[in-house]
Amino acid sequence: MPHLLREDNDGICILTLNRPEIRNAIDDEIMRLLAEETARLSADESLRAVVVTGAGSEAFCAGGDLKWLQSFENADAGEAMSRRIRKFSRA
């Protein structure tokens, strides 16, 4: 199952974080997919709006995937993820 879904409708793009079993927590794959989509969307002059939403009914996004972050031996991984999320949110 893809972790990021895209739906286009009359100049409006809906990106859906699709990991409802873990409240759409963000890991490196989601960040990569979001960066790719953001680059594509930036080049689309017909686009009027982008909506980012989350699958499921429990949460839009729980934030960083803590289990994924714990897989790193280096404590700097959390800070690196935080920087990437902040960079995306300003895009």
pLDDT, tens digit (0-9, with 9 covering 90-100), for 61-77: 988 787 877 776 666 77
Token pair of 5 as six digits: 């879904």
Q: What is the pTM of this model?
A: 0.80
- SS3 of residue 63 by DSSP: coil
Q: Given phi > 0 = left and psi -120 to 50 = alpha, else beta, which region is 74?
A: beta
CATH number at residue 41: 3.90.226.10
Residue 30 is part of which domain span? Answer: 4-89
CA dist 89 and 16 (Å) reads 15
Q: What is the DSSP letter of 25?
A: -
pLDDT, tens digit (0-9, with 9 covering 90-100), for 2-38: 999 999 999 999 999 999 999 999 888 998 899 899 8
pLDDT value, residue 18? 97
